[in-house]
Chain A
Amino acid sequence: MADLIVPGDKLPIEDPSTVKTTIGPGVYKMPTTHNLIPCSSGVITVETKNSNQLVYIESNNKRYIPHTNDFVIGVVTGVVGESYKVQLQDFSSPVLLGFMAFPNATKKNRPNLKIGSAVYARVLQDIPEIEAELECIDPTTGKEGGFGLLDESGYIFDVELNFARELLFNPKTVFLQLLSTKCQFEIAIGINGKIWIKCGEGLKEKTSDSMETDEEDPATNIKDLRTTLAAANFLIKCQHITQDKLKAELTNAFKGI
């Protein structure tokens, strides 16, 4: 059941003292009275299964607040002591990524990130009073697990938070399926609203070795570059159009390639 709810409304659920209730984002349990109230506005979902009820509110914002275990894409902006200073969004407080928070890191073996590099990391700590911390190690395996430096051949762009959540957590998301019909791509989605995408080889750096094959290189160079940009523009547009217009938007974004 999809209904609009606003703070101040009463939650359309059964009395939590009689039915076992699990609450998700957007619902707050008052510490003193144990009442459940909605604390954000959005679409409310109530599911009842085996006499357990689940209630949560889906809302959209643009400003990301770090929470433990979130997968994020950050941009390195500097070095502070033994950590990198990383920014997750424009105008947000910076977070820290320690030098040792990488697999196989030792005091002598420092990671090779420079200012402006993008990393895919996991939020380790989100204590509200101090700066949040990230790490680039998969907690289950202790190895890289997909975290670390996102190389410069991919393009990074910003989206709204619920779109990022849709892409990351919905395995049957229609947007990525549709995009895969036009091109092959590698994608990294940060829950802080940043997406890294690379089609084919993305942006190829011209090295001195490629001087001999200069005649054919420019054509293939641009194709991947243009495809990557088209894919990014398509995803950005997807946020604001209805489902029936998706196919048309896809052809529009990829015309000329």
Chain B
Amino acid sequence: MELYSPEGLRIDGRRWNELRRFECKINTHPHSADGSSYVEQGNTKIICMVRGPMEPAMKSQVNATSSTVEVNVSLANFSTFERKKRSKTDKRITELKTTLERTFNECIMGHLYPRTLISVTVQVLAQDGGLLAAMTNAVTLALIDAGIAMYDYVSGVNAGLYDQTSALLDLNTLEENDMCSLTIGVIGKSEKLALVVLEDKLPLDRLESVLAIAIAGSHRIRELMDMEVRKHGNMRLAKVSV
């Protein structure tokens, strides 16, 4: 089974620069959270819920000048191909959680909410590649739904390099296991990178091409998220104005 055929088709029929099916919804849990979202990137499915700004539970979380962002990541046992029990203090989960906290601390206008806590819960229902990217997108949408002041969207996507030559956009699990994968989080329509994670070997001279397609992919995802947010906004506006 070839991951990238000589005709330029991948195993799911996509070309090198095509994103997987991206579906998102916001305000999915209006009663259980201040802001919520649901994101599907291919077969990766993520629910995100945001509570806050609210009173911090622990005194150590109180920051006199800015809000504190707390992220909790939970990977469901059934989210991968084989059922696997995961502990909450798993190193990989801690790394994902810290990355999300530090990314959104920069994008939220924290100085408007001093001494408060913004609690973000990410629940992963299915993993099929691009986990960090999909989580970033889900958190962005949930924060927008919660009405928390932000500078801009943070959209994430991953890209990889097949066989040292071809860059591929938006990898699924099979592709991720076989080649290096670069996940980035881009701010809005600019080329500013909020987060960059590369976990396998990539030749330095190929970095630029992989980065370029990843940035283009992030911009496209931002457009798709923006369309959904505006659609939802217009729907609510229509309900209000008679």
- Interface, chain A (partner B; CB < 8 A): 78, 115
Contact = CB atoms under 8 A, between A and B. Distances in A.
B88 to A, nearest CB: 30
Nearest to B62: A78
A78 B64 CA distance: 9
A138 B65 CA distance: 33
B64 to A, nearest CB: 6
Nearest to A77: B64
A-B interface, 3 closest residue pairs, ranked by CB to CB distance from nearest:
A115-B64, A78-B64, A115-B65
Nearest to B64: A115
Contacts of A115: 64-65
Interface residues on B, range: under 10
Contacts of B65: 115
B18 to A, nearest CB: 50
SS class, residues of chain B in contact with chain A: loop
Interface in B62-77: 64-65
Interface of B: 64-65
A115 B64 CA distance: 9
3 contacts: A78-B64, A115-B64, A115-B65
A78 B65 CA distance: 12
B47 to A, nearest CB: 38
Contacts of B64: 78, 115
A78 B63 CA distance: 11
B63 to A, nearest CB: 11
B240 to A, nearest CB: 43
A81 to B, nearest CB: 15
B6 to A, nearest CB: 60
Nearest to B65: A115
A78 B60 CA distance: 13
A115 B65 CA distance: 10
A68 B65 CA distance: 34
A78 B62 CA distance: 11
Nearest to A78: B64
B72 to A, nearest CB: 27
A115 B66 CA distance: 13
Contacts of A78: 64
B110 to A, nearest CB: 16
B32 to A, nearest CB: 35
Nearest to A79: B64
A115 B114 CA distance: 14
Nearest to A115: B64
A257 B3 CA distance: 62
B53 to A, nearest CB: 20
